[in-house]
Structure 1
């Protein structure tokens, strides 16, 4: 019996589960939608025959779907598990909103936004809450369209780049292939190599700084909201460039603290069974 064969020992069940999970993760590693048995086997570090058996068994439970001869994609059961996992993301309530208000107070009245990953609309983010005090966003040069359209892109702004930095490379490639929003600010990263370098910097530092990226005359600081090792969203502090030409250590630490508190909201939950984008 070779090392890749499934034996009839008591360990068979756990080994089979492990291999099944490895094949699932192979889809997120490879990116894209449809893959052949050989590519999935290589990514899962299994032989072709073992991978084929796993894929065929997974078709019956809708974990995988067969798309043509020897081609597969993730199925509806995987998506269903992903939806259940993502349902535990922090939502807009009194306790999470208070964290945003605390950040606003700690930074002398900055505009604070909470964005969460919105994978079912593609690799994008969605604003789910904000703490802006009595500010009129229209008078500040922001419109609902700015918040709901320009800021959806993960390649735009400190908040977008913060999320993008922690996503798998295959998903990053999809985002980098997207067009830059026409309304983006002058500080937007237009060169993909520079953008990728900025993502490495975000991972090293644990936060991102943006200078007129989403819109002119506004600078920002963002930090990630995470669930275990999975990126879920980000907290963004926004201030006029005339008031905050550079983010101070106080601003950076306050933003990171707010993100940590929101991440802790997920800490009491069990680990997700499946994440739409993997880790």
Structure 2
């Protein structure tokens, strides 16, 4: 590729990245030009080219937003993340080391979904857990340590969207209902690198959660559930174990998986 072509490619990348950096749902060429340092005419041409291949969508107010083409790229990228066997091996190791219940939540838009878990020989029916209810109120990113860990690393527009949501019914007594307290907890999570939940999702269960990152982007969260009466006064050992497992999952997102990676 010529230097001219390389330079143009970098400009296209800068425009695409601007949509993740600027707050708001849609942006005009002038705002993107300010963010990228490019001139507005160049930005406009890139946006129009992107509309043609559905990378961008032109809105009625003359602004632009990311389109289905960008979504296809993100889905292809996610498809290259670690093999499920690799992820489960890490979850299983954490479960055996702590005796708790372990789950992995992947980011799906402004929601999360449990894609894998390790619970040993624990029977959820023994404490009356309704899996359908658990899934319903665990979707919100404002609920529980695993949700807050993801929310802490999401862009401002998604944080605002989640903060505007009501707290789901049926959650635990420790859920953070006040938005100011929730925002402060997100700052603490970004600083500390983990979250501790006190009966947030389910009565009788505390939790520890850590982010799984793909470079600088949040990929999901690793969650360790522990019964309240088994949660140590100093949760540091559980925090360390969860952080170690989350860091391993983050590394697996960056490199091809092999059995030796989790040995």
With structure 1 as the length reference, what TM-score do the two structures score? 0.84
Aligned residue in 2 for 1:112: 102
Shift of 1:83: 0.8
Q: What aligned pairs does 1:33-182 form with structure 2 within 5 A after superposition?
A: 33-68=25-60, 70-90=62-82, 92-93=84-85, 95-107=86-98, 109-119=99-109, 123-182=110-169
Determine the C-alpha separation between the residues in 1 that align with 2:234 and 2:147.
18
Count of aligned positions? 255
SS at match of 1:129: strand
For residue 4 of structure 2, the aligned residue among 2, 12, 22 is 12
Per-residue CA deviations over 1:168-198 (Å, capped at 9, x if unaligned) read 1222111111111111211111111211111
For residue 205 of structure 1, the aligned residue among 175, 192, 206 is 192
Determine the C-alpha separation between the residues in 2 that align with 1:26 and 1:177.
24
Structure 1: gaps spanning 5 or more residues:
1-9, 270-279
Determine the C-alpha separation between the residues in 2 that align with 1:69 and 1:179.
30
Deviation larger for 176-185 or 244-253 = 244-253
Shift of 1:110: 0.6
Structure 1 38/186 Cα, relative in aligned 2: closer, same or farther at 3 Å?
same
Structure 2: gaps spanning 5 or more residues:
257-263
SS at match of 1:117: strand
Aligned residue in 1 for 2:14: 22
Structure 1 or 2: more helix by fraction: 2
Per-residue CA deviations over 1:225-272 (Å, capped at 9, x if unaligned) read 111111111111101112116452211111111111222222215xxx
C-alpha RMSD of the superposition: 1.9
The answer to whether the Cα contact below 8 Å between 1:118 and 1:126 also exists between their aligned partners in 2 is yes
For residue 205 of structure 2, the aligned residue among 215, 218, 225 is 218
Per-residue CA deviations over 1:198-218 (Å, capped at 9, x if unaligned) read 111111111110001112121
Query: Is 1:228 aligned to residue 218 of structure 2?
Result: no
SS at match of 2:254: coil
Aligned residue in 1 for 2:260: none
Structure 1 115/69 Cα, relative in aligned 2: closer, same or farther at 3 Å?
closer
SS at match of 2:65: strand
Determine the C-alpha separation between the residues in 1 that align with 2:44 and 2:32.
9
Determine the C-alpha separation between the residues in 2 that align with 1:88 and 1:158.
27
For residue 189 of structure 1, the aligned residue among 127, 151, 176 is 176
SS at match of 2:122: coil
Structure 1 89/141 Cα, relative in aligned 2: closer, same or farther at 3 Å?
farther
With structure 2 as the length reference, what TM-score do the two structures score? 0.89
The answer to whether the Cα contact below 8 Å between 1:100 and 1:131 also exists between their aligned partners in 2 is yes
SS at match of 1:133: coil
